[in-house]
Every structure is written in structure tokens, then in C-alpha cells.
Amino acid sequence: MPVEMQLSRIIISEIHDQQIIYLSEVDGHRQFPIVIGIFEATSIERRIKGLKAPRPLTHDLIVGTIRQLGAEPDSVVVSDLRDGTYFAELRVQKDGELVGIDARPSDAIAVAVSCEPPLPIFVAEQVLDEAVSDSL
């Protein structure tokens, strides 16, 4: 069963290329970091801070694309961890079915926080186990 998580921290460093977000269990105490790029980190941060842009930014365009094609963003699942790389799925509802789109967690989470209300974020149980033990 995937475990519902929330974005609990973003650490942005202008000196480094790689930024860090933390996902924390909604009904528990487990958490782990994911290293992401500066663009995705600032994109997530803008949404968390509620900053509005006059024109659709890149992750807004993803939401716009989904809606214009008759679908609705549903959720994000961090589904796998292979060789230190997290894999995610952006899930959208279309004609009563759930369609999974292969994405990096950073983009999927940036899409999640671009939606109002934000999409729920889940992490597969075995990924959470491994991620938490790796980060201890």
C-alpha cells in the first residue's frame, strides 16, 4: 500500500546545483530527502509561497495540458528507487480510469503543488522503507 506523504521542507542553496526536498509521512514519523534540480525546487517553492505568475509557468502548462485533453490531475506516487534514483508517476483521471505518466518526483511534486487543492503525494511502502533506512 502506498503511504501518504507531505512535502515538509525545501532546502534551496544557490551555491549548489542540487537542492533537497523532504517528504514526511502524514500519519506517522518517517521522512526522507530527495535531491532535485534548482528549477524544480524554485518552481515548488513559488507555489508553497503562493506566488502568482501572470502567464502559465512550465508546471502550470502541464496542468493546463491535462485539463485541455479532458483529464484531471489525481495524485503523485513515488513508485520506485533504483540505483539511487527515485521514479514517480503523475496520475490523472481520464474517462473514469487512472492513467499513470512516468515523471521525476520533482516534476510530479511541482505539478501536485500547482493544483488547487494540491494533489496528494504517496510513496510505495518498499520505497519508503528503503529511503528511510538509506537516509539514517
For binding to a second copy (CB under 8 A), which residues are involved? 39-40, 54-59, 61-62, 64-66, 68-71, 85, 87, 90, 92, 94, 99-104, 107, 110
Q: Closer CB to a second copy, residue 43 or residue 123?
A: 43
Least distance to a second copy, CB of residue 90, Å: 7
Least distance to a second copy, CB of residue 136, Å: 25
Helices 58-68/38-48 angle, 10° precision = 70
- SS3 annotation, 39-94: HHHHHHHHHHCCCCCCCCCHHHHHHHHHHHCCCEEEEEEEEEEECCEEEEEEEEEE
Least distance to a second copy, CB of residue 123, Å: 17
Q: Closer CB to a second copy, residue 5 or residue 108?
A: 108
Distance CA 69, CA 1 (A): 29
Least distance to a second copy, CB of residue 14, Å: 13
